[in-house]
Amino acid sequence: MRTKYMTHNETDALPRMKVPGAAETDLFKLSFLRTRYTHVFAAGLSAGALLALKASTHVRLDGIGVFSPTFFYDGWNVPRTKALLDMAIGWFPRPLHYVFFHFDGFPYGIKHPALQARLRAAYNPMNRLLNAFRKRPRHYSSEALGYPVFFLKTLADLDRLYAVVAADLPKIIAPTLVLQASEDDFTSVRNSEFVLSQIASAEKKLVLLDDSYHVITVDRQRDVVAQELQEFIAAHTNRGPATDLSVV
């Protein structure tokens, strides 16, 4: 077994679990890492946090980073029409799930004004169209900016993911770090409290951020998120002083 600690410049070597498609492939990748490295951690944001939790029930992990977990859409900016989406998912025939959608609106899960402005420009329909013809579209790519449009199909798949992971929470025993913004616009702190109350981990910690919204990994306190994760990993490995993992 080898020990290797990856900084933010090396994370492309790690599997990134998609939502909700390639979960089995990503679990295989994590299993492969488990055979090659002394320590393996998984972390994710929103639905990705649920995938990290789910992964720990299949692969032995040294720790889990749970950022802005999403089980209940109950943040302060969730529209009242959310109830209509729930009914549509249950009532509409499956083919219509690929037609009807929800568009993510301001503030896009971000409290930082400059990032809000960038997302507003990127989500402009003309920019989304031109993106297909850009030689280097990464700046406006979904990887860089997220997904402004959620089809009913995606929302239905996510609802099933929430149910599956919620049922498995009592099986989770890995040390768990939970971070969420107290002003999360998408999901309230009740989500983090739910995770902590249900998992069987002996070591679990909740950190509430006071100057961010839902997407804490890029918002105003992203460095705090990186620092908390860095310290969490260092505490659960045989490491000396931690390597700089600051978000850049």
Contact 118, 218 (CB under 8 A): no
- pLDDT-derived band at 97 (thresholds 50, 70, 90) equals confident
Angle (nearest 5°) at CA 196 between 192 and 202: 150
pLDDT of residue 147: 61
- pLDDT-derived band at 118 (thresholds 50, 70, 90) equals confident
The single-letter code of the amino acid at 31 is S
Taking only the tens place, the pLDDT of each residue in 165-196 is 999 999 999 999 999 999 999 999 999 999 99
pLDDT of residue 35: 84
Q: In 37-123, which residue ranges form alpha helices assigned H by DSSP? A: 47-55, 82-91, 113-122
d(CA 141, CA 137): 6
**Averaged confidence pLDDT in the chain:** 79
- pLDDT-derived band at 49 (thresholds 50, 70, 90) equals very high
- In the predicted structure, residue 79 carries a pLDDT above the cut 50: yes
Share of residues in the chain with pLDDT > 70 (%): 72
Q: Which CATH number applies to 11-75+161-235? A: 3.40.50.1820
d(CA 213, CA 46): 12
Domain ranges of the chain: 11-75+161-235, 82-153
- In the predicted structure, residue 242 carries a pLDDT above the cut 50: no
| Whole-model pTM over 0.85 | no
d(CA 59, CA 25): 13
- pLDDT-derived band at 244 (thresholds 50, 70, 90) equals very low
d(CA 156, CA 97): 8
- In the predicted structure, residue 25 carries a pLDDT above the cut 90: no
Contact 150, 156 (CB under 8 A): no
- pLDDT-derived band at 136 (thresholds 50, 70, 90) equals low
